[in-house]
Amino acid sequence: MKNLMVITMDKSYLLQVAESKVSYHKKQAKMAYEEKVKIIIELQKIKNEFLLKHGKNTTSNMNVWRIQL
Amino acid sequence: MKKTLQKINDLVEKKIIEKYAIAGGMAQFYYIEPSVTYDLDLIVHISGEENNLNPLSPIYYWAEDNGYKTEGEHIIIEGMPVQFLLAYNELIEDALLNCAEITIFDEKTFILRAEYLMAIMLQTGRMTDKERLARFFVEAEFNKEKFLELIKQFGLQEVYEKSYGDNNG
């Protein structure tokens, strides 16, 4: 039986990663609303493309917004 | 979205709507990182005498007169599906009365405050609400005292303690 190498991660490193994620999401939350709307439209496109590729239909209330930004 | 907001503000100017505020996902994303949503929810007070059978009818007449299509419960205003909702309980009513005035896309508009949105999510309690409320605790800037005051006022303390305890903010 091969020797298995167990990789352990330093607890402080994991905490640092978690804090960094929180800090990233907080920063994203503070983004200008106008930028957030652009992101929402991109997410609508991605979700609809994904559903289409997986043979699932989007419903009539899932249209990508055609709005002037 | 600027044009959509302009048309909604026109509804107030024309006295079809007395007051409105952005609610739902589009309000939540003002305070937290955005994720996908497909409509703009508005909580509204209708002006004048209320038609109890169809209280939103003045908005639908306006939409028809202005060539805006309806799709299900939405009116497509300048490319954006907008859902108009009356304040359906005391919490929503209070949230509308205490909404914040903001400017986005160079247009004045109104939005439900973070603490009210959080209380509404707690009250509604769907999976999406639970997930977004958890994100509010981490990402949003909100007044915790005000939030606790609201959940006490609207009888949501028990569900809050049960679901979230002291593990936030």
Interface A:B, Cβ pairs < 8 A = 70
| Chain A partners within 8 Å of B31 (Cβ) | 29
Q: What is the pLDDT of residues B97-156, one digit of tens each?
A: 999 999 999 999 999 999 999 999 999 999 999 999 999 999 999 999 999 999 999 999
- Give pairs for A15-24: CB < 8 Å, separation 24+: A22/B138
ipTM: 0.87
Q: Domains (ranges, CATH) in chain B?
A: 2-113 (3.30.460.40), 115-164 (no CATH)
| Residues of chain B in Cβ contact (below 8 Å) with chain A | 1-4, 29-39, 71-72, 74, 78-81, 104-105, 135, 138-140
What integer pLDDT is reported at residue B167 of this predicted model?
57
State how far the Cα of B105 lies from the Cα of B169, in Å rounded to an integer.
31
On whether any CB of chain B is under 8 Å from the CB of A3, the answer is: no
Q: What is the pLDDT of residues A32-57, one digit of tens each?
A: 999 999 999 999 999 999 998 998 87
Structure tokens at B96: 């509308």
| pTM for this predicted structure | 0.89
Decide if pLDDT at B12 tops 90: yes
Helix (H, G, I), strand (E, B) or coil at B128: helix
Per-residue pLDDT band at B168 (split at 50, 70, 90):
low
Helix (H, G, I), strand (E, B) or coil at A62: helix
| Chain B partners within 8 Å of A63 (Cβ) | 38, 81
